[in-house]
Structure 1
């Protein structure tokens, strides 16, 4: 009987909860399901990523609400796809990150696994990041180990680029498993989505079309890129704590007070184009410094549908013969890659196998990631 694992992912963009049912060796998807956040819950989760009043009580309520939503979503996935529950070995639930502070040695994801287990009657593996962090790692990114297992090629250099709220890369040198590494490159959808919603009312810039109507502002781009994160060497990770709309507003105030400020450049479209270019610049730098002279870049996450960003990447990497395509080409939709990764991490936990890559996270060694909530 095929063993099936369920993966649940809620990312930095907070655009919904992605749920998949998968088996491995070979990878097969048995069902997918997405749940949109209730607007009030999304607002609360967003607010919890930054310090505020009455955090513990508010976090507790959100923890219960999110877990309840996930539990019922998993049941809906199982029923919709008529999956045999006896085949499901475990659920891998990442939860929603509301604080990620590797420099202080902690990270926090909510979405109570006890409630998910109670609703689904299936064991839940959760809390994936803190074991790596306890071993001296960043606790992120975790998906490069999955990318290596599924996507590494024996003769072609590959980069798996996840464009979620934060962009991260997995460097997969051809036929060289010991040299795989990865890290967060900086903001992706997290700033572009927030800016787009503020000025257009749309939650994201579909296809990057709005950004194409603007022109990047060099002086603003340089100011944003001066954030200390971009100068850090890997391993490194970041999140909404570092890059958020309030940070962007502060940078805009400073820029507008600068001698280089040009009022004619200061349009919402130009700022959106600048945010897109900020994402692309950081990714291009990461790939250029990888030591791989050419190869294939496969993009996943919501940003894989931002054709403007992908075209900018192709243009900036044109001299290096890098192709830029969606993971659809590898027969895995960009929408589901991260959720499948947490199904894979649940499988690794159940099989008592490590889930991290020390070269990626900076941990002292390989570790079995997660804790289990039994039925």
Structure 2
């Protein structure tokens, strides 16, 4: 039986809330999903500033986190109502809403005496009350409870949507952080997934610093610059790039503070900085995924970085043995990919079925992800 559901995603780029309205049926690898509509509600400047403040150990506070949890819940609920209204659908008729939440901090290996843990905000009770339907949220913790890193969590959805019997597919998402999923040909489910390193995060921060814009549109700034090989070599020496998969990272390694320190250490022109950072993203991806190419291999790129033409050219040059495609080449949406993934995870949880991939996260068994908030 086919149902309607909404997947919500708010990623490390802090662009806003992505909402995907889907038609979904079936379970496990027989799940069928069709995108009906997609929209993004940008964060208002005040909200974005509050989120950025909450990410800083120095600036955040208990009161801010408590308030932001509810405020984000309101924004997520609004996104559901808006996409339903746009499609003449009553939100109460949705089978469920699946919300990832806004990641504030993620430390899968612990930090300075603190235990492994993660924090995503966006109160599910608020979303349920506003939308009058079941909400499934907080997907990462269940995997961490069984020894996993709680990331990446999208590989299960990628198995459902992209696995091919004859071709090895490497799905590379380039959001704030870059993450890859290796889908072997032949129907194997023992997939591997990991964060490759920075995606757009450093590039975006440099664009804000030099040009007061949010991102490098189509790579136009990078196109005018030159790669500084000395700086690039230093960037590639980052400890995270040298780690073996499975591994996961975030703003803790490559965020605003990291970029600020780079700007103090090296003196480059604006466009040289942006091109060098773009090459850092491309090279960290290429060197990490190259060993997984087996036989005929397709690299499928999604996320905001797929619209950066300079970055795509760099990847094609660094990985000549792979066929490089975008989500759009396969008939999917780069922007909607992760929100759709949330809907697929939510569907598994709704039917009390597991959706983590232990070979990707390091968990010692499969578990049902997320927490369920019922509307009554």
TM-score tier, shorter chain, comes to: over 0.9
Which of 309, 325, 336 in structure 1 is aligned with 2:311? 309
Q: Is the 8 A contact 1:50 1:241 kept in 2?
A: no
**Post-superposition shift, 1:313?**
0.4
- Give, in whole Å, the separation in 2 of the partners of 1:232 and 1:29: 36
Q: Tell me if 1:134 matches 2:145.
A: yes
CA distance in 2, matches of 1:351, 1:189: 35
CA distance, structure 1, for counterparts of residue 332 and residue 157 of structure 2: 13
**Structure 2 unaligned runs (5+)?**
25-30, 111-115
- Residue 22 of structure 1 aligns with which residue? 22
Distance 1:147 1:358 in 2: 14
| CA distance in 1 between partners of 2:214 and 2:295 (Å) | 37
Cα deviations by residue, 1:295-338 (Å, 9 ceiling, x for unpaired): 111111111111111111011111x1x11111112221101000
Extract unaligned runs of 5+ from structure 1: 257-262
1:190-201 residue pairs with structure 2 within 5 A? 190-201=201-212
CA contact (8 A) 2:157 2:341 kept: yes
CA distance in structure 2 between the partners assigned to 1:308 and 1:145 by the alignment: 30
Secondary structure of the equivalent of 1:366?
coil
Q: 1:189-228 to 2 correspondence within 5 Å?
A: 189-228=200-239
Cα offsets for 1:70-114 (capped at 9, x unmatched)? 112211111110125464111100000000001111000001001
Query: Number of aligned pairs?
Result: 364
1:112-131 matches, within 5 Å, as 112-131=123-142
Give matches, 1:139-218, under 5 Å.
Answer: 139-218=150-229
When normalised by structure 1's length, the TM-score is 0.94
Q: Give the CA deviation at 1:151.
A: 0.3
Does the CA-based 8 Å contact 1:113-1:124 persist in structure 2?
yes
Which residue of the other structure, out of 77, 83, 86, is the alignment partner of 1:80?
A: 86
**SS of alignment partner, residue 242 of structure 1:** helix
User: Shift in Å at residue 291 of structure 1?
Assistant: 4.6
For the pair 1:42 / 2:48, whether they are aligned, the reply is yes
Q: Is the 8 A contact 2:177 2:201 kept in 1?
A: yes
Q: Residue 119 and residue 232 in structure 1: after superposition, are their counterparts in 2 closer, same or farther (change >3 A)?
A: same
Matches of 2:67 and 2:295 in 1, distance apart? Answer: 49
For residues 9-66 of structure 1, the C-alpha deviation after alignment (integer angstroms, 9 at most, x for no partner) is 0000011110011123432122222101011111111121220245111111211111
